[in-house]
Amino acid sequence: MVSKAEDYRVMQQCIDRAVTLERHKGRFRRAVRRSLPRLHRSIRLPQHDGPLHLTSFVIRYIQAVPGWLQQLEHLCDAAGVDFRPVRELIGASFALPPERHPAEIGIAALLDDAYLAHRTLEEINEQLQPACGIPLLPMDPMVANLVVRELLGETFAGELDAVCIQLGDRYRGQQLGPDSLVAMILCRQKFIETPGDWPDFAREMDIGLRVPVLEPDLEKLH
């Protein structure tokens, strides 16, 4: 059985390779530039060099995964909640493609894995929050996840959402005893004392979603 430390080490190695490849080759940034007219219809980007900002946002989104997963696992461990199946599934989703072609896998290939991880964090937080009465993690990734959803496409993102919901359902109705609850809250307190570890990528980089312009219903205007 692969150890917890090994799972996170392999995950980090996969991310580091992909980021290094992007910095040397710039494939994702060039792809974003080609797709800019389509993306601008749904994603709001800074006026100056939108492709660079979106690429930096995606890199930060992917790089946050190991640290945020580890933090949630610390919380679960403190409360005696089993997080291992989630970590192993997400770790495998990161590790398998790069090991087949480690020199060719860029950040675009890891974006769906990162979305899977971030959305799973949301789902587990939603399921465990009633047990402890407070959000487990001190961040709101909703906008960032919606931006990435636009990049992945509705159909593919929906398939990933189904997996995330299934993972989150493992924690539905979780009951915590008094000692476990106190341990989880104390562990969480350490996290919120380091706000720099929980950035809002979308807000910090001025990236968001455009509000769709609705066509008026002419029949109702008469």
Least confident of 39-43, 65-69, 76-80: 39-43
* Of 190 and 147, the one with more pLDDT: 147
Beta-carbon contacts of 12 under 8 Å, excluding residues fewer than 6 positions away, are 66
Exposure string (b/e) for 51-77, b if CB count within 10 Å is 16 or more? Answer: bebbbebbbbbbbbbbebbbbbbbbbb
Which pLDDT does position 202 carry in this prediction?
A: 85
Taking 80 as the threshold, does the pLDDT of residue 11 lie above it? yes
User: Domain spans of the chain?
Assistant: 4-201
pLDDT band of residue 1 (cuts 50, 70, 90) is low
Mean pLDDT computed over 56-85: 92
Residue pair 94/115 in contact (Cβ under 8 Å)? The answer is no
- Region of 133 on the Ramachandran plot (φ > 0 left; ψ -120 to 50 alpha; else beta): left
Selection from 11, 25, 131 nearest residue 69 by Cα: 11
Q: What are the tens digits of pLDDT across the range 84-116?
A: 999 999 988 887 754 444 445 689 999 999 999
Mean pLDDT computed over 203-220: 64
Least confident of 21-35, 71-85, 203-217: 203-217
pLDDT band of residue 217 (cuts 50, 70, 90) is very low
Mean pLDDT computed over 122-149: 85
Q: What are the tens digits of pLDDT across the range 171-194?
A: 988 888 889 888 888 888 877 766
- pTM: predicted TM-score of the whole model, two decimal places: 0.88
Exposure string (b/e) for 79-107, b if CB count within 10 Å is 16 or more? Answer: bebebeebbeebbebbbebbeeeeeebbb
Which pLDDT does position 218 carry in this prediction?
A: 40
Q: Share the mean pLDDT of the chain.
A: 84
* Of 11 and 2, the one with more pLDDT: 11
Residue pair 70/182 in contact (Cβ under 8 Å)? The answer is no
